[in-house]
Structure 1
């Protein structure tokens, strides 16, 4: 979980402020079991230490920085020690750190910087979660193979419940401290799909605090991308809702390989299987022999197939039709996933089929293999 904490913090190292208030900031404290060791303080993204100090015999140390800009820093004992993450600027005079030098990350406490204190609270919450998950994992791994699966499932459900609780806790922590740069680190530990409103609140709150932060810009872009994805998902769901049995299937009017326009509406009077596929789609190509067999069996009984390709390369499209022996009508606008027909039908993966009746109304969707064979047998007889 430290890795989660560190990654979230690393994502924020670009945060900076245009103003640098005058003054000196002191990072000082007392570290047990560290006399003679060196304490390093550096910007999180800087390979060279910003400053260092040797821990005195009584455990005390002090590092002074002149006019530090608002940024994330890391403090470690020894160059290889696991660092404590801090955030501060020159408006804060004294940052106090205490802990055990032999295990600083797991023992430290901080005062004098509300942002750093908040990061500590975040770290503690994630460390407790990591410990609990490790404990449950050990229990699961120690279960005999013949153990009642109900017990195993109960432990897995406990993990899921605890994960949801942590996400709720972190979201609330970020909202309660939305104007703190530390909130970026906190909310970044939660999947944006589960916390879009909280991401937006933090982003909006920090626009006046760190307006020139590249990471804040990156977060805004991420939010925009998620908004677009949700809008697209909503559009696809609306399209799929139109494909409920008995509903009128959207018309399709696209070109065949030889440039002739063929529409779904022109096939009224027959049952039509609309088959969304592509030459590059492995599962589609593996399903084609089954579709060929069914077409050969029912093609003369008021049954037709309209192949709608999501290809972008015409030669490959035609080559696949010929190689697989697909002797029914084929159309495409060669726009791959941007195909209008795919959008109208809410197609998110292929193969995807829609069976319509003689009136062009939906009978069923996603029929493949035996399910398709059984449905055609039901309609036309064995």
Structure 2
């Protein structure tokens, strides 16, 4: 066995700030496939939440504010519901007028390729901001910090 240096990894993958997003599987509430490349040249804010999570629900007005202030051709908000019932999530989203993109991960079905597993999401809510190149530029920042990062990026 021998080791050969082939150069620096120009696209390191990881789950923390400074690393590129790993490949993952995700579905919208209607079961259509979600991919980051559907939003080229955009900053993407992933919001991980659940209908069972009181702090997540408390955060919704702030997310509405961020979405209304920054949603344009350079920014998109994508919420990822980690829940047991997609209909319950859809009804909640409709009732709360959460008018942005929504993904669903069934907490009753283990999937090593799910967004929750790949990003090692263990607390809710969790937010991850991704730049247009797919790099994580913020993870679990306060809403004020996130707003400042988004404002400066745009």
Partner of 2:124: 350
Matched, 1:302 2:79: no
Alignment length, in residue pairs?
140
**1:251/1:265 contact within 8 Å kept:** no
| Match among 370, 373, 376 for residue 144 of structure 2 | 370
Q: Unpaired runs of 5+ in structure 2?
A: 1-12
Q: Summarize the alignment of residues 92-111 of structure 1 with structure 2, pairs less than 5 Å apart.
A: none
**Partners of 2:94 and 2:24 in 1: how far apart?**
23
Aligned in 2, Cα 1:291/1:347: closer, same or farther, shift over 3 Å?
Answer: same
Deviations 1:278-312 (A, max 9, x none): 11111011101101111111101400112111011
Does residue 287 (structure 1) correspond to residue 59 (structure 2)? The answer is: yes
SS at match of 2:149: helix
> Is the CA contact 1:276–1:309 (under 8 Å) kept in the aligned structure 2?
yes
Structure 1 length-normalised TM: 0.35
Counterpart-to-counterpart distance in 1, 2:101 and 2:62: 17
Paired residues of 2:127 and 2:141 also in contact (CA < 8 A): yes
- Scaled by the length of structure 2, the TM-score of the pair is 0.81
1:257 matched to 2:29: yes
User: Are the structure 2 counterparts of residues 379 and 318 from structure 1 closer, same or farther at C-alpha, using a change threshold of 3 Å?
Assistant: same
Cα 1:364–1:264 change in 2 (3 A) is same
Aligned to 2:6: none
Q: How does 1:312-331 map to 2 (within 5 A)?
A: 312-331=84-103
If each structure's helix is expressed as a fraction of its own residues, which one has the higher value? Answer: 1
Alignment map for 1:115-126 (pairs within 5 Å): none
Stretches of structure 1 that go unaligned for 5 or more consecutive residues are 1-240
Deviation at 1:253, TM superposition (A): 3.1
User: 1:333, CA displacement in angstroms?
Assistant: 3.0
Shift of 1:336: 5.3
1:248 pairs with one of 17, 20, 31: 20
Larger Rg: 1
- Counterpart CA distance in 1 for 2:108 and 2:149 is 29
- Write the distance in 2 (CA, Å) between the matches of 1:283 and 1:354: 16
